[in-house]
Amino acid sequence: MQYIYTFKEGNKDMRRLLGGKGANLAQMTNLGLPVPSGFTISTEACNAFYKNHNQLNNETLAQLKTALDQLSQNVGKSFNSLSKPLLVSVRSGAAISMPGMMDTILNIGLNDQTVVALAKITANERFAYDSYRRLLAMYGNVVEGISEATFDTVIEDMKHQNHYQSDLDLTTNDLKQIVSEFKKVYINKLHHEFPQNPTEQLLAAINSVFESWNNHRAEVYRRENNIPSDLGTAVNVQMMVFGNAGKDSGTGVAFTRDPATGKKHLFGEYLLNAQGEDVVAGIRTPQPISTLKEAMPHLYAQFEAIAAKLEFYYRDMQDLEFTIENGKLYMLQARDGKRTPTAAVKIAVDMVYEDLISKQEALMRIKPESVQSILYPEFDEKDLANHDFVASGLPASPGAATGQIYFTAEAAKAAHDEKQQTVILVRQDTSPEDIEGMVVSEGIVTSRGGMTSHAAVVARGMGTPAIVGVNELQVDYQKRSATISGHQLHEGDWLSVDGTQGHIYIGQIKTADTVVNENLSTLLGWAKQESHLGVYANADTPADFSQALRFGADGIGLTRTEHMFFKPERLLEMRRLIIAENAEARQLPLKRLLKMQQGDFYELYKLSAGRSVTIRLLDPPLHEFLPHDEKEIRKVAKQLDVTPTYLEQRVDSLKELNPMLGHRGDRLAVTFPDIYQMQVDAIIGAALQLLDENVIIEPHIMIPLTALKSEMSWVKDLVVNRIEQLLVNKNVRLEYTVGTMMEMPRACLTADEIAEVSDFFSFGTNDLTQLTFGYSRDDVGSFMPEYIKQGILPADPFQTVDVDGVGQLMKMAVEKGRSIKPQLPIGVCGEIGGDPKSIEFFEQIDVSYVSCSPFRVPIARLAAAQASL
Ligand code: ADP
Ligand code: MG
Ligand code: MG
C-alpha cells in the first residue's frame, strides 16, 4: 500500500487521501508554482496508525525513510548536515479544512549543532536562534503538551525586563538565552532533554499530528460542522523556507478577493522578518498587502499573477499563504477562502459574469440559511444618530449587533443558554477553545489581532459581526470588566457593534430593516428561473407584504385574518360581536368589522399587482379575543357597556379545556356563519372595488381545519353562495377559488374525497404536526429539548418536517388529491415552508409552492432552486 506521496504525485482531486492542504500543495507544484519540496503521509496512514495502537506501521516507516532520502537529494540538504542542514515543517491537513484546529511544527531538524551551522551559513545568528526557539516552543506544546503560556511567559518576561515593545527588539543574545530557558522547561517539566536527533523529532511530530486528529478542539470543530470523525488527517512534511531570515524576508496570507465584501482585489496582510503563524496569531500588527506593492513591486506582481492563476484554476476565491525568503517568493498553501455571506453572494454572481462558473453552480455555492445574515438589519439610523461610537477597530465581519457583554466563552454560553440573553463576546483575542462561546454570540470584539486573526476568520465563517484589533479596549478577565476608551464596563453591560464600519457603541441601539442588495437580487432571480416550487409569503399586513415583495415573494400564500382583529378599535368590535346575544345584535359590529377588513384586503390586493393572494378565514377559538383576568374583565365590560358579571358569564361559556382541539376554524363557520360571510363580503368587496379601478383580482379563499368532505362541502357552499349573490347583485363575473388547509390527519387520509370539493390544498404544518404527534405545540418546550438531546427525535418537527410520519401523510394527501384533480395546486404554509431541509422534501413529493415569513423568502427561494437542480 502506498502511504506516502510526493507533492509531484498528487493533485487537487486527492483531498480524501492527501487532505486539503496536501492535495493543493501537490496541485500548486504541478501548476509550476514555487512550492518548497515535500511529501504527504496519507489519511490511510493515519487510519493505519490508529489501527496499529497509535504507532506508525513498518510499511509507513520504510516509505518515510525513502521519501526523506529523496527529499534530501532533491533539495541538496540533509538532516544533521553541518554544511547544508535540512529543516522541515510537519503540517497536518484533513480532507475538510479545519482552520487552526490541528497542529503544525516548524523548523524540525534544528539542534544544538545545526543551529550553529545555520547561523554560519546564513551569516544570520539571530535568525538561527529565533528559529530554534520557535521549534522548542512548538514541539514542546504539540508533542509534549507543555502549555504555550509557559513559553510565552519566558519571552514576555524578557521583553518586560528590557522594556522592549515587540519581538523584533529581542537581540541575538536574548534569543540564545530564551533557547536555554526553553530547554530548562523540558528538564523541569518533563525530566528529559529536548531530542537532538532530527529523525526522532520528525517521528514524534508525525505521531502527534495523527493524535491531534482526536484532540478536543478538533472534536468540537467537527461536531459544530458535521464532519465525520473517521476521515483522518494527512501529514505534510515540507522543506522549510524562512520568512524570518532578515528584512528582505517575510510571511503573509492573502485572499484573491475581499472575504468581507467580495470585491475583486488582493486582500491580505504580511509581516516582514517573521515566521509562520506570526500573522494569524496577532502578536504583531501586520501590514496590509497593498503596501507590499511599494516595498517589493516585482514580488508583488509575481504574487498577483499566481493568485490569478490559482483562482482561474480552482474557479473559486482562494486563501493563500506565502513566504518570502531573501527576496524569493514561495507558496505554502491554497484553499477555498472562507467568506462572509455578503461576499459569497457577490463572488458567486461576479464569477458567473466572468464566465468562471455557471448560474447553477453559483446557486449551489450559497448555503440558503447563510443569506439570512445579509438580510440582517443594520442599526436604525435615527437611534444611531443619538449615539457616538467610543472606539473603533478593524471591521472583521460585517453586520450590526447589540447585546450584553461577557469575557469568556463559558460565561457567554451560560448567559445565552440559561438567561436567554443576546451576547457580545469581548476578549483580548480568541482561540479555538472559545468556539462554543463564539457560536452563541451575536457579536465578537477583540482588542488584538488583524483581519485574519482567529476571531476574524471564525466570525466571518459564522456570519457573526466582529471587530478586532480594538486598541482602546483593555479586558480584565479577573475583575470581569473592560475599559473602552476610558469607559468602565462590567459583565452584562450593553454594547453595540457595527462590524461593517468597525465602530463600537456603549449601550443598546435599535436595528433597522434592510433591503436586499443587488447581487442577492440577481441570484434570487436566477433561483426563481431554476425552481419548480413557488415561494410565497405569510403576510397579514401591507407592511409584511411589501417586505416580502422586496425579498422577491411570488405572492401571499397565507393571510391570517385574525391578526387584523387585534388592533384596539377592531378588538372592541370583535368583542361586541362575540358577546352579542342574538343575530340582530351582531349586525352592527359585523358591519363595522366588514368595513375595516375590506380596507385591509383592498390594500393587500392593490400591492399584489397581479400576484396571487390567499386569504384564510377566521381560525382561532373566540375566547382568544376576550379578557381573562378580573381586572381586565371589569375594564372591558365598561367599554362594551355591559355588566362585569354578564361578560364573565360569556367568557366562561366560551372557555374550553382544550382550545386548540375545540371550537375553532371552520367549526366556527358552522355555528356562526355570519362571521365567515362577513369576511367573504370583505374579500369580494375589496376585489370589486379594484374591479371598478380596472384591476382584476382572483380571490383565493382558504378554509382552515377541515377534516371531512361533508364539512368542507358545507362551508364551501356557504362561501360560494355568498359570493355568487354578491356578484349577481353587482352583475359582474369574477374568477375565484375556495380551497382548504390540510392540517387534520383525517383530511390527509381522505384527501381524494376532499379534493372533490376543494380548489386547492395548503398544508398547515403546525397543526398537522401537532395532531400527528399528539404534541401540543404550545407546550413542547418542556420536553422537546430533552428529546433532541437524547436523540429520541433527530430535530424539532415543528422546525423541520418529520419525513417519516408527517411527511408520509403529506405525500399521501398529495397523491390522493391529484388522483382526483391532476392539476390541484398544493402549498405548504406552516413555518417549515421556509426550512431548506423541508423544502427538499416538498420538492420530492411534488408540492407546488411554499409560503413562509417574509424574512425567510430569500432562504426558501435558494433552497427551492437547489432542490430543483
Ligand atoms: P494551519 O493549518 O494552522 O494554517 P500550516 O500547516 O499552514 O497550519 O502552518 C502554519 C504556519 O506555518 C503557516 O503560516 C505556514 O505558512 C507556515 N509554514 C508551514 N510550513 C512551512 C514551511 N515549510 N516553510 C515556511 N513556513 C511554513
Ligand atoms: Mg495553525
Ligand atoms: Mg495554513
The CATH number that applies at residue 292 is 3.30.470.20
Nearest CA to ligand 1 atom 6: 91
With DSSP H G I counted as helix, E B as strand and the rest as coil, what are the percentages for the chain, rounded to 5? 50, 15, 35
Residue 417 half-sphere exposure toward CB, CA atoms < 13 A? 11
Judge whether 748 counts as a catalytic residue.
no
Query: What residues pair up with 740 in beta bridges, in sequence order?
Result: 703, 761
pLDDT in tens, 451-476: 778 888 788 767 689 999 999 999 99
Share of the chain above pLDDT 90, in %: 77
Which ligand lies nearest to the CA atom of residue 108 in the structure? 1
CA angle 205, 118, 332 (to 5 degrees): 50
Query: Closest ligand 1 atom, CA of 36?
Result: 23
User: 462 and 577: one domain?
Assistant: no
**pLDDT of 512 higher than 80:** no
The pLDDT, as a whole number, for residue 515 is 58
The pLDDT, as a whole number, for residue 286 is 87
DSSP state of 516: P
| The one catalytic residue among 46, 748, 829, 852 | 829
Query: Closest ligand 1 atom, CA of 243?
Result: 25
Q: Which of 841, 601, 571 is nearest to 699 (CA)?
A: 601
Query: Closest ligand 1 atom, CA of 88?
Result: 23
Nearest CA to ligand 1 atom 23: 240
CA of 253 to the centre of ligand 3 (A): 9
Instruction: Count CB atoms within 10 A of the CB of residue 186.
Output: 18
Query: What residues pair up with 762 in beta bridges, in sequence order?
Result: 741, 827
**Residue 422 Cα distances to 333, 381, 432, 455, angstroms:** 37, 21, 21, 18
Which ligand lies nearest to the CA atom of residue 107 in the structure? 1
pLDDT in tens, 713-727: 999 999 999 999 999
The pLDDT, as a whole number, for residue 811 is 98
CA of 41 to the centre of ligand 3 (A): 17
pLDDT in tens, 553-583: 999 999 999 878 877 788 899 999 999 988 8
- All three cell numbers of 349: 454572481
The pLDDT, as a whole number, for residue 513 is 60
User: 504 and 563: one domain?
Assistant: no
CA of 580 to the centre of ligand 1 (A): 79
Nearest CA to ligand 1 atom 26: 276
pLDDT in tens, 308-328: 999 999 999 999 999 999 999
User: 505 and 535: one domain?
Assistant: no
The pLDDT, as a whole number, for residue 569 is 81
**pLDDT of 101 higher than 60:** no
Average pLDDT of the residues of the chain: 93
ipTM for the assembly: 0.92
CA of 100 to the centre of ligand 2 (A): 4
Share of the chain above pLDDT 70, in %: 98
CA of 249 to the centre of ligand 3 (A): 18
| The one catalytic residue among 416, 454, 503, 700 | 454
Q: How many domains does the chain divide into?
A: 3
CA of 649 to the centre of ligand 2 (A): 71
pLDDT in tens, 574-632: 999 999 988 899 999 999 999 999 999 999 999 999 999 999 999 999 988 998 888 88
pLDDT in tens, 651-687: 999 988 888 899 999 999 999 999 999 999 999 999 9
Nearest CA to ligand 1 atom 24: 240
pLDDT band at residue 696, thresholds of 50, 70 and 90?
very high
User: 786 and 724: one domain?
Assistant: yes
Read off φ and ψ for residue 214, nearest 5 degrees.
Answer: -105, 15
Q: What is the DSSP string of 688-721?
A: HHHHHTT-----EEEE-S---HHHHHHHHHHHHH
Q: Which residues line ligand 1 (CB under 6 A)?
A: 36, 89, 91, 100, 104, 106, 238-241, 276-277, 321, 323, 332-333
Q: Which residues surround ligand 3, an ion (CB under 5 A)?
A: 333
The pLDDT, as a whole number, for residue 283 is 63
The pLDDT, as a whole number, for residue 150 is 95
Average pLDDT (336-346) is 93
Query: Closest ligand 1 atom, CA of 38?
Result: 23
Average pLDDT (277-290) is 76
* Exposed/middle/buried for residue 696 (C-beta within 10 Å: 0-12, 13-18, 19+): exposed
Given ligand 1 and candidates 323, 325, 331, which is best to mutate, with the most ligand atoms within 8 Å of its CB? 323
User: 661 and 810: one domain?
Assistant: yes
pLDDT in tens, 521-544: 999 999 999 999 999 999 988 888
The pLDDT, as a whole number, for residue 377 is 62
User: 759 and 860: one domain?
Assistant: yes
pLDDT in tens, 417-444: 999 899 999 999 988 778 889 989 999 9
* Exposed/middle/buried for residue 853 (C-beta within 10 Å: 0-12, 13-18, 19+): middle
DSSP state of 319: E
Judge whether 829 counts as a catalytic residue.
yes
Q: Which residues surround ligand 2, an ion (CB under 5 A)?
A: 100
Residue 747 belongs to domain spanning: 531-621+656-868
Residue 206 in domain: no
Integer Cα distance of 273 and 124 in angstroms = 12
User: 476 and 585: one domain?
Assistant: no
The pLDDT, as a whole number, for residue 799 is 86
Residue 173 in domain: no
The separation between the first and the last C-alpha atoms of the chain, rounded to the nearest angstrom, is 39
The pLDDT, as a whole number, for residue 280 is 62
User: 393 and 433: one domain?
Assistant: yes
The pLDDT, as a whole number, for residue 855 is 80
Residue 645 in domain: no
Nearest CA to ligand 1 atom 3: 100
pLDDT in tens, 123-170: 899 999 999 999 999 999 999 999 999 999 999 999 999 999 888 889
User: 824 and 855: one domain?
Assistant: yes
Residue 1 in domain: no
**pLDDT of 54 higher than 70:** yes
Of the candidates 459, 483, 512, which is a domain's last residue? 512
Which ligand lies nearest to the CA atom of residue 319 in the structure? 3
Contacts for 705 with CB less than 8 Å, ≥ 6 apart:
619, 664, 665, 666, 667, 741, 743, 744, 767
Nearest CA to ligand 1 atom 22: 240
What's 694's domain CATH number? 3.20.20.60
User: 381 and 506: one domain?
Assistant: yes
User: 490 and 543: one domain?
Assistant: no
User: 783 and 682: one domain?
Assistant: yes
Which ligand lies nearest to the CA atom of residue 105 in the structure? 1
What's 430's domain CATH number? 3.50.30.10
Of the candidates 339, 362, 385, which is a domain's last residue? 339
Query: CA-based diameter of the chain, in Å?
Result: 109
The pLDDT, as a whole number, for residue 739 is 98
Nearest CA to ligand 1 atom 15: 276
Lowest mean pLDDT among 591-595, 620-624, 752-756, 829-833: 829-833
Given ligand 1 and candidates 235, 321, 325, which is best to mutate, with the most ligand atoms within 8 Å of its CB? 321
Q: Which of 340, 336, 359, 338 is nearest to 348 (CA)?
A: 359
Lowest mean pLDDT among 217-221, 341-345, 478-482, 786-790: 217-221
Which ligand lies nearest to the CA atom of residue 321 in the structure? 1
CA of 611 to the centre of ligand 2 (A): 53
Query: Closest ligand 1 atom, CA of 236?
Result: 6
Nearest CA to ligand 1 atom 8: 104
**Residue 227 Cα distances to 96, 104, 337, 432, angstroms:** 8, 21, 18, 16
CA of 237 to the centre of ligand 1 (A): 11
